[in-house]
Structure 1
């Protein structure tokens, strides 16, 4: 089989394509014929050596995948040959709150950037026929993160999303599916039009209006938004504080933008809840898949690459000018 390994940490050039024997499933494992994978910002942090977690050279990258069960090992009860499956983002976290950091795909465990993967049956979830492999491959990290970032949102709420990356657009779609109003930010007029086409109630160009937090508050009727899906971190947090309603919530998802964090008093005076989002567990992923299927949600895909063009997929994603998810398709 073909498989990519990150031979040298620090550059996309370190990602090398190899041929290795196709693995065989051991007891409790299944062999997945991988049909699609998708990229997340965490994948860039690993390849470039920015990740806060210990890294190991030679590891297979990517955490998000979907495919078909091709063989099962002894004792497997959850799946049979021919089942359609997607990967659980965080190995070992199947239900309940986040309690510990464990080995992750691409860092201390081999990930999914291969044609086949033998994996414990408990690290997979079933996907229905109504969800394509490429759509399913976008869900384990970004969609689950977004799902938890907008938990509790309903028809009387207003949500602010930042940018057009995977998490932001999934949060957009889940919030709209629940009847909420969505205010979106972008630095591109072209992307603004696409956000409006998707159903955004308001779009703010933050390049033209650096004080977009106050504009978001004004657009919300002056009260502020009930939920901010905060993906920028230090570079956007001060504006998020201006946008959030008293006693609202800022779901802290990412640290994409550089800058200085506001002071304690600025945070205190919002009387908001600041909730860090640790992606989610296997049960969350199952709920996401159900919601996507029931609501007819189609993940927003920026671009598709073949497996042999896997390095080009990283190069494109690394430019950070995307609208949705970057997906790698394996036609083999």
Structure 2
């Protein structure tokens, strides 16, 4: 008789009320080039919510969640990178190992195009995982796959941040909070925005230098320029999309860099192209990053001691409640699942 494991599946018609706890066959022993991993934690991203809520196309019965962290239980023939007992974390684009961007869709992304990590055990090729940072919990490690790596690529890989740089982060979600922490660890001055003064205080505790409530100050782009004596910031971590992009362009320095990461305010909208051109700023879209970038991030976190902010943790079976909490926007940093 085949052993069973627990898993969550998205059932049609898609929606949070149709996330089902199910059983599936244990995947068994790994084959050549594969590892068997006992999943211990995951973390929530807006992308995961969009899939679960039916805003993005996926297959009936899909196992959600792109982020997964756990322990290697067995390794297949020829595997040298991992050994039994290693703590590992999943990769967002398993087929993008190194070099410049190779993907423009989610067909090989766990939790979207293929089954994800809302299950107890997976057997996958080694390129689906990297090592976790030393002294990280599984929940902390699970935040790296999507949010941590996105912030790292925006600032370090694409942005080329250096000590003395100025960085603007928008809102208080996982990418923005992680970007604040990374920027401060790299010697940057950080400007943070939020609609909540309580969250701005939390940013202050993380070392953010300038705090702006964007509801009280809707022209925060001008405020950033004033605070920088007319210069603007070198880097903007832009998670809002069309609703915030005009202000981000206002805030960026001549020759600066805007990392376009999110579309929280919509997928289309007007862009002040003349102002962007006049500023000769670089507006660069990005989606997470490669396995090589993730390995670089892990080494950096081991060196600088930065740990992600985990706002709240839910049990595996409480995924729908966790998504509702995320949708309400009350969190600061990351929301995690523990198995």
Q: Give the alignment's TM-score, normalised by structure 1.
A: 0.95
Aligned residues of 1:226 and 1:245 also touching (Cα < 8 A): yes
Deviation at 1:287, TM superposition (A): 1.1
CA distance in 1, matches of 2:334, 2:84: 29
Aligned residues of 2:259 and 2:285 also touching (Cα < 8 A): yes
Name the counterpart of 2:66: 63
Runs of 4+ in structure 1 displaced over 6 angstroms? none
What is the aligned counterpart of 2:43 among 26, 29, 38?
A: 38
1:74-223 matches, within 5 Å, as 74-100=77-103, 101=105, 102-151=107-156, 152-223=160-231
- Alignment: residue pair count: 328
Deviation at 1:128, TM superposition (A): 4.0
Deviation at 1:27, TM superposition (A): 2.6
Which deviates further from its counterpart, 11-20 or 207-216?
11-20
Q: Indicate whether 1:304 and 2:313 are aligned.
A: yes
Aligned residues of 1:131 and 1:293 also touching (Cα < 8 A): no
Which deviates further from its counterpart, 207-216 or 284-293?
284-293
CA distance in 2, matches of 1:279, 1:70: 27
Q: Indicate whether 1:3 and 2:7 are aligned.
A: yes
Which runs of 5 or more residues in structure 2 are unaligned? none
Which deviates further from its counterpart, 219-228 or 255-264?
255-264
Deviation at 1:94, TM superposition (A): 0.9
Name the counterpart of 2:300: 291
Name the counterpart of 2:32: 27
Q: Any idea what SS the aligned residue of 1:248 has?
A: strand
Aligned residues of 2:66 and 2:112 also touching (Cα < 8 A): no
Deviation at 1:10, TM superposition (A): 3.3
Deviation at 1:9, TM superposition (A): 4.9
CA deviation digits over 1:285-323, x for unaligned, max 9?
Answer: 111111111111110111001112222212211222210
Which deviates further from its counterpart, 318-327 or 238-247?
318-327
CA distance in 1, matches of 2:166, 2:270: 24
Aligned residues of 1:159 and 1:181 also touching (Cα < 8 A): yes
Name the counterpart of 2:245: 237
